[in-house]
Structure 1
Amino acid sequence: MTLDTREPFTGDIAEQTELALRNVEAVLKEAGSDLSRVMQMTIYVSDMELWGKVNETYARVMGDHRPARAIVPVKELHFGTKIEIQAIALA
């Protein structure tokens, strides 16, 4: 889901992963934080077959920062998206 329009985003899994991470980044920025302050992420993915592309995109966006991470396979996600990310970060 894009933050500016609140419309569901239905691109491929790499695009959805990047958008989800950029949304997390935007929320953190508004709170005076950033991705380097993330302590833990929970990633919900609708199909574990997609994990390779998710992980590639995650590694590219997160760079050298590697917070604790949990991967949760789910049957489906709201709006038919393939990924959802929850983050816990320091201010």
Structure 2
Amino acid sequence: MPRENDAATVTVRTATVRYWAGARAAAGVESDVVRGCATVADAVATVDALHPDLAPVTAVSTLLLDGRATHRDQPLPEGSVLEVLPPFAGG
């Protein structure tokens, strides 16, 4: 029987990161799927590495986790959706 720490029992978390407005333009895609990220900060670091032009945008963006504002130290649940909402002007 595998123990909790055995590789066979480790679950790799998967989450979707969606980009809006300037974040979408910086990433060049509408969304990414990230794997193995334990926190929101891990997911942001992963997408920043995938899309280097995105890093300055994520640094100032509001982040929503499953539709609610979140902090970067928040755990990233399996199957969740993280949205990157950059600041924007409008009227």
The structure with more radius of gyration = 2
- Taking structure 2 as the reference length, the TM-score comes to 0.33
Higher helix share: 1
